[in-house]
Amino acid sequence: MPERHTDLFGRIASFSALRAAAMKAALGKRGTPGAAAFMANLETNLLRIERALLEGRWKSGGYTEIELHEPKRRIVSAAPFRDRVVHHALCVVVGPIFERGFIDDTLANRKGKGTHRAIARYEQFRNQHDHVLRADIYRYFPSIDHAILKADLRRRIACPQTLWLLDAIIDGSNAQEPVHLHFPGDDLLTPLERRRGLPIGNLTSQRCRSG
């Protein structure tokens, strides 16, 4: 059983943590309307987020959806800038907790890893073996089961307020394309009853993919 971490929320919801998160979220984005408006009234906006988090009132805002067709059809969802600030503050604290559980060949969305490292690793394995299985996870983001994800988060996190925030982000996900998959114990109606899918484009979704 992995170590379960407590007392995390104060490091996420403090004004200083949120300010640092806003600076990260704004990198390369200051010219966009959402980031510019937020940064123009930075202190007031951060205080509002801090108060909403500490009072348990924070909720995800609506997503802007963009449909892409290259290299394959997918829906990319952009959260409001204020939400991205919270996502950055959260990932700074909980990211390292999950990072320690990754194997070295987990290469997606990790500092010092990435696509080029993955290609080099693939070529190393290819040169060592006669056969290579080329595979992809079918509709990864739309297939993520919310109940299973929440249970997995609770294996490593025991801070009630941090779990509340994680649940709020998951529950605030916009609807993804339907993927009708069955897990052990499901009946025919289960795929219709259980919520699935995380928005492609969220920093928190990318961290989930790394795990």
* Percent of the chain topping pLDDT 90: 56
Which of 8, 1, 56 lies closest to 158 in space, CA to CA?
8
SS3 157: strand
What's the whole-number average pLDDT of the chain? 88
Angle at 194 between CA 199 and CA 72, to 5 degrees: 35
DSSP run (H or E) holding 27: none
Quote the radius of gyration of the chain (alpha carbons, Å). Answer: 19
Q: Residue 52: which residues within 8 A CB-CB, separation 6 or more?
A: 58
Q: How far is CA 180 from CA 71, 158, 186, 192, 209, in A?
A: 23, 31, 11, 8, 20
- Comparing 41 with 210, which gets the higher pLDDT? 41
In a domain, 4, yes or no: no
In a domain, 1, yes or no: no
pTM as predicted: 0.85
* Percent of the chain topping pLDDT 70: 91
Q: What is the mean pLDDT of residues 83-107?
A: 91
Which tokens in the block code for residue 205?
A: 């979704």
Which tokens in the block code for residue 25?
A: 């979220």
Between 26-30, 106-110, 191-195, the lowest mean confidence (pLDDT) is in 191-195
User: DSSP readout, 48-100?
Assistant: HHHHHHHTT-----PPEEEEE-SSS-EEEEE--HHHHHHHHHHHHHHHHHHHT
Q: How many domains does the chain have?
A: 1
In a domain, 18, yes or no: yes
Which of 108, 133, 132 lies closest to 118 in space, CA to CA?
108
In a domain, 2, yes or no: no
Handedness of CA 99, 104, 105, 107 (dihedral sign): positive
Answer for the pair 194, 144: CB distance below 8 angstroms, yes or no: no
In a domain, 3, yes or no: no
From CA 113, how far away is CA 110, in angstroms rounded?
5
SS3 31: coil
The 10s digit of each residue's pLDDT in 26-60 is 999 999 999 999 999 999 999 999 999 999 999 99
The 10s digit of each residue's pLDDT in 69-79 is 777 778 889 99
In a domain, 164, yes or no: yes
- Name the residue range of residue 118's domain: 9-210
